[in-house]
Structure 1
Amino acid sequence: MRILTLDTSAVASAAVLDFEPSDPVRTLQVVGNFATADTRSHAEVLAPGVKSLFGDPVTEGPALDAIVVGTGPGPFTGLRSGIAMARTLSFTWGVPLFGLMSLDALAQQVFDSPRHNDAGRAVGPLATSAFVVATDARRKEVYWARYSAGAELLEGPHVGPASEISGGQVFGAGAGLYADVLEAGGCRVEPAFAQAQPTALHLGKAVVHRISTAGSLQDAGFLDSSPLYLRESDAKVPGPRKRAL
């Protein structure tokens, strides 16, 4: 099975992954991926980045088994770029489209990361109990959700000040921005993940994790491609013009 994943909830990113549905974790191969460092140039870089993943998009695109797009939460402009492209490619290539919450990508990255001792040797999973992932929501707020040690969603997604999060490990760029606030609330911010953002590569690994647990793509409980904005748009419909006289 070959899938294309896209996520623009923070940075612009895309990946192509290949795996056998009967044993997706062991057979997973990353065919190609890209991710920018910039969180504000999605529209300019996404199309060239996706094109770079294919030798011949005309033939290789329609051969995909699925496209999975990160549905956020994230800022309006960036999130729309990824979802619009995913919907366009799904329609043009005739490939099924699925959605997955972008914070799941960060949770998967935590789940895949080992904890090391002072000698640098892996001694177990990084998260041994429930943990939180958080990204920058701007306006002095974060998008966040709580997961089990097995990367299963327990709570969220939410948007609000970091002070609303209490206790446990917190991962992600949102945690790095508000480390002082979180630590004052009893949280432990993981320095190695203080700049981490959701990416299409880890979104793809979350897809594989779900399929491995559920047994098939159809039973994995994916979302549709509707965006999770969690906020009302700042754009307002203009009111009637005021009379000059």
Structure 2
Amino acid sequence: MLLLAFDTATPAVTAALHDGERVLAESTVVDARRHGELLVPAVDRVLTAARAEMALVTGIVVGVGPGPYTGLRVGLVTAAAFGDALDVPVYGLCTLDGLAWAAGEAGLDGPFVVATDARRKEVYWARYDGPGHRVTEPAVDRPADIAEQVAGVPAVGAGAHLYPEVFADRRADPAHQSAGALAGLAVHRMTTGEPFAPALPLYLRRPDAQVPAGYKAVLPR
């Protein structure tokens, strides 16, 4: 087994190789505006560091969000292209689940909350009983609207650190997504037979970009 995992649903552009037992190489760059420029070089770095060839990859693991439209689609389109070119399966995983798994690797058990920055003064979030067990569906909300639901519960993720008045018990790790943890979660699910998400974007809301209305026609009538 050789899994290539990556996620672009958060400001962290992260990629990793996993052989089914351990992470062979990982690269993470935090830059919210350059997902398209950074992902393929990150994949190249982990392949080089692990002294592996793309042809040896047996599966692609990709974070499906929730996340902002522009960054998220970079990872999903790349995953689809790699899967098609290599003729290997593409496994989708909720980005929040990857962060929850990383929290478990950092020693957090449960219950806890994962929250990422959704912009517009909102967070993407979900609640967990443990690193591999999500108990609520991923959602996007204003922090003040979920204050009662997350009160007194440890929280991880960059979204939690943006709103300390709501997420009082914030944990330092993990702040950003880890492709290595995402791959580890994928191996766990393969071993236990748990289902994967479709490799389709989990947006939870409409994109910021809108088709302009009322523009002038430029073609002659």
Q: Which amino acid is 2:124 matched to?
A: Y
Separation of aligned partners in 2, 1:170 and 1:65: 34
Match of 1:66? Answer: 59
Q: Secondary structure at the match of 1:148?
A: strand
Matching residue within 60, 64, 69 for 1:76:
69
Q: Which amino acid is 1:107 matched to?
A: A
Q: 1:242 to 1:29 in 2, by over 3 A?
A: closer
| Matching of residue 177 in structure 1 with residue 178 in structure 2 | no
Give the TM-score, by structure 1 length: 0.79
Match of 1:119? Answer: none
| Conserved 8 A contact 2:113-2:127 | yes
How far apart are 1:241 and its partner, in Å? Answer: 4.4
| Matching of residue 87 in structure 1 with residue 89 in structure 2 | no
| Conserved 8 A contact 2:116-2:124 | yes
Q: Which amino acid is 1:204 matched to?
A: A
Matching residue within 129, 147, 150 for 1:166:
150
| Matching of residue 147 in structure 1 with residue 128 in structure 2 | yes
Give unmatched runs, 5+ long, in structure 1. 20-27, 115-125
Match of 2:115? Answer: 134
Match of 1:205? Answer: 184
Q: Which amino acid is 1:170 matched to?
A: A
Q: Secondary structure at the match of 2:208?
A: coil
Q: RMSD across aligned C-alpha pairs, in angstroms?
A: 2.0
How far apart are 1:35 and its partner, in Å? Answer: 0.5
| Bigger Cα displacement from structure 2, 158-167 vs 80-89 | 158-167
How far apart are 1:92 and its partner, in Å? Answer: 1.2
Where do residues 10-159 of structure 1 align in structure 2 (5 Å cutoff)? Answer: 10=10, 11-19=12-20, 28-55=21-48, 60-114=53-107, 126-127=108-109, 129-159=110-140
Q: Which amino acid is 1:178 matched to?
A: Y
Match of 2:5? Answer: 5
Separation of aligned partners in 1, 2:56 and 2:216: 56
Q: Secondary structure at the match of 2:23?
A: strand
Give unmatched runs, 5+ long, in structure 2. none
| Conserved 8 A contact 1:62-1:95 | no
Whichever of the two has the greater Rg, that structure is: 1
Separation of aligned partners in 1, 2:212 and 2:32: 29
| Conserved 8 A contact 1:145-1:158 | yes
How far apart are 1:242 and its partner, in Å? Answer: 6.0
The runs of at least 4 consecutive aligned structure 1 residues that moved more than 4 Å come to: 240-243
Separation of aligned partners in 2, 1:150 and 1:143: 17
Separation of aligned partners in 2, 1:229 and 1:208: 25
Match of 1:229? Answer: 203
| Conserved 8 A contact 1:62-1:94 | no
Give the TM-score, by structure 2 length: 0.87
